[in-house]
Chains A and B, each alone.
Chain A
Amino acid sequence: MDDPRVRMNPAARGAVAGLALLAAGVAASYALPDRLFALGQVVAWLVAAAGLTVLVGLSGQLSLGQAGFMATGAYAAALTQNALYAAGFTVAPPAGTSGRFAAAAGPTAAGWTLPVALLAGVAAAAAVGALLGLAAVRMRGAYLAGATLVFGLIVTPVTVLVDALGGEQGLRVHVPRAPDPVGSAVGEGRFRVWVALVGAALVLAILTAVVRGRWGRDLRAARDDEAAAALVGIPVARVRLGAFVASAATAGLGGGLYVYLTGTALPGYFGLTTSLFLLVAVVIGGAGRLVGAVGGTLFVVAVPIVTTEVMSAVDASPALQARLAGNAPLALLGLCLVLVTLATPGGWSARLGRGPRRVRIGWGRADQGRSGRLDLGRPRAGRRGDRGRGGTGARPPIPDVRE
């Protein structure tokens, strides 16, 4: 669109991205048959990470509560699923399966209840995202980060306060099982990962197409220079809200998929650590890059697995090993967060900007010549920059009056 080297139209690009993810995921599910759970986690998380990377990288809004939206979607999906099950929309159980999903007696939910439940999750998360977003769009920087942090932290208390949500023990969810011929051929676990992959591929396809189109351009313009964007007619607040809601919606889907994969809804799945790990995934992959979100999520899920393996090889008492292994991922990922952020001078534009005509993604001030040239042919208006309500970054030598 801006880059003459891009030949494919956005929709085609999206389709390619989605299909690529599907193919890679299916291949991985055969290549790593013992890691199906981890794979599932990657898929569920990457949906949330994709939305988050758009929010953080392209819209410049830092959210520390993505897991809170995952929880919203998860519990909405769980309750819907259970409600549909209780209402009798069931089918006879498929023939016995193995492993984690060993057959339980009784009917299982009908297959079509799953998309309905997932959609309910997405809708709930989007609704909550809209509510929070209405407040969020007026906030910048630290204020937004703090507010989303607090939002993410109410998940566990709310599940305790509202009886229907099952408290810290969580909810058992009657998710549909793989239908007969497919289920026994492929395995319940693998089937669920594939279903999740379809959802993720869809999200990735849509996001890929959309960020290369007008919406993506508006997002970046609003991020780089609000005043100029407004002058050009971009409805800045609405664009920011849209990004916030979209990010919440994807997280909602991710949460719903997680419930489907595990058959339970637990507040512990959606705590602060999850929000932080998602942020690490986004930062490591490069904020704003969807491909990076996929890679980053892989990395973030892989690290705990790798550290556990490494630690078990170390000769130490089991208690010490547990302590080291349990905390090592957090330490490593935190370190990555610090180092990656420090290593990119002026934000990500230095890493991502390739070629003179490409719209550069990154944050930092537009008039510093580092990031985001507005390709809208407009002179740059007075820059406000990323700032909390209380102040601003460096100013021009002319004193200017605050609002």
Chain B
Amino acid sequence: MAALLSVRGVGAGYRGVPVLRDVSFDVAPGSVVAVLGPNGAGKTTLLRTLSGLLPLTAGTVRFDGQDLATVPVARRVRLGLAHVPEGRGVVEELTVAENLRLGGLWRRDRADVARAITQVYELFEPLARRRGQPAHQLSGGERQMLALGRALVARPRLLMLDEPSLGLAPKVVAQLMAVLSALRSSTGLAILLVEQNVRSALSIADTAVVMALGEVVAVRPADQVRADDTLRRAWWGSW
């Protein structure tokens, strides 16, 4: 099966300072890929490059066969590529409902957007309860739900999440991972998950991309990484 997302030799940086170097990996449709690595490995930079917020200095990114080099950021979600950024990016001054609506504004099929929003409310009950409230009143876990729900309204094919478990209690993290896994099973959504929380990420991932210092050091099936002690200790000590 052809890869949904194909990353080849990607380099990127900030104002002349290179951060990523020669990054290559694939995301197959319907699979979950976890991007792991210590702080400063370039994981966030990678996602920002994939969604176009940061320009490529080298390599190509193909989504569903299409080269993304000429596709501006705002157009990528139309192709099916959604990015939930670091910090969640919930627009605090807008209400929960407005945030969700925002996720679907680009779509022409208003009926399906309405359906999607209803599904999000069903999936995340706290959001339904707070739909008229401004987003700054939400807790960390609720904001994560909102950010996720907002991305889902666009009916993406690949969902990129940057450290969704950040600042959340373990129970909430477990629920989050369960939701992601369920989404993958029920809708065939592919997920690219950047995580510091290695254990949670590996619990739902099919493949692990391990990064350090801006480079990919390994691409392995997740259960291999789970099981292999030497691999783990080499890069993180222990977890």
Contacts and interface: CB of A to CB of B under 8 A. Distances in A.
Do the two chains touch directly in the complex (Cβ atoms below 8 Å apart)?
A: yes
Interface in A356-403: 368-369, 397-399
A368 B17 CA distance: 11
B87 interface: yes
Given A368-B15, A369-B15, A397-B86, 6 more contacts: A369-B16, A397-B44, A397-B85, A397-B87, A398-B87, A399-B87
Interface string B1-29: 00000000000000110000000000000
A369 B16 CA distance: 10
A178 to B, nearest CB: 59
Interface residues of B, number: 6
Contacts of B87: 397-399
Nearest to A368: B15
Contacts of B85: 397
Contacts of A369: 15-16
Nearest to B88: A399
A172 B188 CA distance: 87
9 contacts: A368-B15, A369-B15, A369-B16, A397-B44, A397-B85, A397-B86, A397-B87, A398-B87, A399-B87
Nearest to A399: B87
B144 to A, nearest CB: 15
Q: At the interface, is chain B mostly helix, strand, loop or mixed?
A: loop
A95 B85 CA distance: 83
Contacts of A397: 44, 85-87
A232 to B, nearest CB: 24
Contacts of B86: 397
A368, A397, A398, A399 interface centre (most CB from chain B within 10 Å): A397
Interface string A295-313: 0000000000000000000
B12 to A, nearest CB: 14
Nearest to B86: A397
A399 B16 CA distance: 23
Interface in B120-176: none
Nearest to B15: A369
Nearest to A367: B15
A258 to B, nearest CB: 46
Interface in B65-107: 85-87
Contacts of B44: 397
Contacts of B15: 368-369
Contacts of A398: 87
A170 to B, nearest CB: 52
Contacts of A368: 15
A399 B86 CA distance: 10
B15 to A, nearest CB: 6
A347 to B, nearest CB: 15
B28 to A, nearest CB: 29
Nearest to B85: A397
A356 B131 CA distance: 56
A369 B44 CA distance: 22
B96 to A, nearest CB: 19
Contacts of A399: 87
B51 to A, nearest CB: 13
Nearest to B92: A399
A368 B16 CA distance: 11
Interface in B40-75: 44
A371 to B, nearest CB: 13
Contacts of B16: 369
A399 B15 CA distance: 20
What are the nearest 5 A-B pairs in CB distance? A399-B87, A369-B15, A397-B86, A368-B15, A397-B44
A369 B13 CA distance: 14
A60 to B, nearest CB: 21
A369 B17 CA distance: 11
Interface in A162-196: none
Nearest to B17: A369
B147 to A, nearest CB: 13
B194 to A, nearest CB: 13
Nearest to A370: B15
A168 B86 CA distance: 61
Nearest to B48: A397
A399 B87 CA distance: 7
